[in-house]
Amino acid sequence: MQQIHLNDDVFKAAQQRAAAGGYSSVDAYISEIVEHDINDEDNFDHLFTHEIMAHLDQIASAAAARGKTYTSAEISEHFQKKSLARQEHHPT
């Protein structure tokens, strides 16, 4: 079996996400992420665990209570900026 190496901070974050997602281990979590990336890069459903959906519901409720909503264009712009920033920090 192959092995990958992660720095301590990345491994700790992966442990937290694996636990939150109900995975049996960090290996199982990373394996599923990579398999989905390879097999169906346009389908992100596997990332929306029950915990993530509950968190998104809380955010939506809080935003509705404050009266602030975002347009699709605003959301797209936000994620484009995030993607560009990630690419700058982790060039391929």
Q: What is the pTM of this model?
A: 0.46
Number of domains forming the structure of the chain: 1
Residue 16 lies in a domain: yes
In degrees and rounded to multiples of 5, residue 3 shows phi and psi of -130, 150
C-alpha span between 17 and 21 (Å, rounded): 6
Tens of pLDDT along 35-85?
877 876 677 776 777 888 888 899 888 888 877 778 888 998 999 998 888
- Domain boundaries, position 37: 8-89
64 is written with which tokens?
Answer: 């509705």
Q: Is 23 in contact with 32 (CB distance < 8 Å)?
A: yes
Return the pLDDT at 12.
Answer: 94
SS3 (DSSP) at 55 = helix
Residue 63 lies in a domain: yes
Residue 1 lies in a domain: no
Longest Cα separation, the chain = 52
